[in-house]
Structure 1
Amino acid sequence: MSNLKFNPRNLILLLMILAITGFRLLVTFNSDELKFANFSSIGAVALFGGAYFKDNLKAFAFPLLSLFLSDFILATTIFSKYSTGFLYEGWYWTYIAFALMVLTGRVLLQKINVVTLLASTLTIVFIHWIVTDFGVWFQNPSYPQNFAGFWLCLERAIPFEIRFLEGTLIYGAILFGAFEILKTKYPVLKLQAQKA
């Protein structure tokens, strides 16, 4: 007889990621095309995955997969005019930023509380701002290819980054708050000695 026991922690974490990623689609499909651009759950998902999955593969794979699935659905439906066939132009910059956001969750959220969650949220917004807008600026004839051109690109992105911050704060509070409540109510969800 096997001594293996089912631990629902990883399944609950994955279901929470998929559910909150679904809100990204729901909000986008039910609003004006770009009204809620960057007001997204995806930053919160990156932090959440980085914080709670103790296995590196799961910590990066599940959030990146949720980003890919939602990006693919959006790129083939309402944002198809912005799509370059597969996803959207410069998608790899977003995925690099997203991987760095997961890493931020792994490093800064070893102990989860309001202060570390706020600090990690501000950090990932900065990462998103710099990395994704570097992709917008680099080799773009609309911007001078110097520091002034990059700075102009960053300035134009501020309204989008404010929405990214708002979305990450709201969805992060929902994700982290819900899982901490679940852990209190169902101790089986707490991290055991083995890796999750």
Structure 2
Amino acid sequence: MSHLKFNPRTAILLLMILVLTVFRLLVTFNSDALQFANFSSIGAVALFGGAYFKDNLKAFAFPLLSLFLSDFILSTTIFSKYSNGFLYEGWYWVYGAFALMVLVGRVLLKNINAITLLSSTLVIVFIHWIVTDIPVWFKNPAYTQDLAGFWLCLEKAIPFEIRFLEGTIIYGAILFGAFEILKAKYPVLKLQTQKL
């Protein structure tokens, strides 16, 4: 047990992810059921985890776990009519998309600034748009099972993706901005040479 050490950087990163995840639940519970659909912090959390956790396990596990916990709470409460008994139809596509979003944070946000944050946000919105609409389109009689049908599905998703973009930009600015301010004020939060 003596080899376990408290790592303030990891603790603060995890706390920030948890706070934003709780905020996702509060906003959803205190609005009309689909009013804020996709306007959520979870895209920003995926980028944030990918950018700041240098350990691959933590980088992927913490954002995906926060998505799972909030999805589970929502699918057993106010979104239970959309639940398939576990989460919701096509959940594995959503989780695959979020794993790709974490990967974008790991690759594109090695040097964090406004330009890299905005470009990585646009990339993850594109990933979310394409990947999460595959299960909506596939074998759905409302769409032809060809490229034209998939494109129609993508067009119908544009309002949701605009909200996802807005949420990711706003929550991303909060998460990244707050952590950069904390790092400047508390040097112990800066990345050390060893992996965290």
Query: Which structure 2 residues correspond to residues 32-181 of structure 1 after superposition, within 5 A?
Result: 32-181=32-181
Percent identical pairs in the alignment equals: 84
CA shift, 1:134, in A, is: 1.2
For residues 62 and 5 of structure 2, what CA distance do their matches in structure 1 show? 22
Q: Is the 8 A contact 1:50 1:60 kept in 2?
A: yes
Q: Is the 8 A contact 1:14 1:62 kept in 2?
A: yes
Q: Could you give the per-residue CA deviations for residues 147-190 of structure 1, whole angstroms, max 9, x where no partner exists?
A: 00000000000000000000000000000000000000000000
- How many residue pairs get aligned? The number is 195
Counterpart residue identity of residue 136, structure 2: V
Q: Is the 8 A contact 1:7 1:188 kept in 2?
A: no
Indicate the residue corresponding to 2:15 in structure 1.
15
Counterpart residue identity of residue 84, structure 1: N
CA shift, 1:135, in A, is: 1.7
Counterpart residue identity of residue 129, structure 2: W
- Structure 2 spans left out of the alignment, 5+ residues: none
- Structure 1 spans left out of the alignment, 5+ residues: none
TM-score computed with the length of structure 1 as normaliser: 0.97
Q: Is the 8 A contact 1:43 1:98 kept in 2?
A: yes
For residues 155 and 61 of structure 2, what CA distance do their matches in structure 1 show? 32
For residues 172 and 150 of structure 2, what CA distance do their matches in structure 1 show? 29
CA shift, 1:6, in A, is: 3.0
Counterpart residue identity of residue 158, structure 1: I
CA shift, 1:79, in A, is: 0.2
Indicate the residue corresponding to 1:192 in structure 2.
192
CA shift, 1:7, in A, is: 2.5
CA shift, 1:138, in A, is: 1.1
Please tell me the root mean square deviation across aligned C-alpha atoms, in Å. Answer: 1.0
For residues 169 and 75 of structure 1, what CA distance do their matches in structure 2 show? 25
Name the SS for the 1:69 alignment partner.
helix
For residues 141 and 162 of structure 1, what CA distance do their matches in structure 2 show? 25
Compared with structure 1, are the counterparts of its residues 142 and 195 closer, same or farther at alpha carbon in structure 2 (3 Å cutoff)?
same
For residues 4 and 92 of structure 1, what CA distance do their matches in structure 2 show? 34
TM-score computed with the length of structure 2 as normaliser: 0.97
CA shift, 1:132, in A, is: 0.3
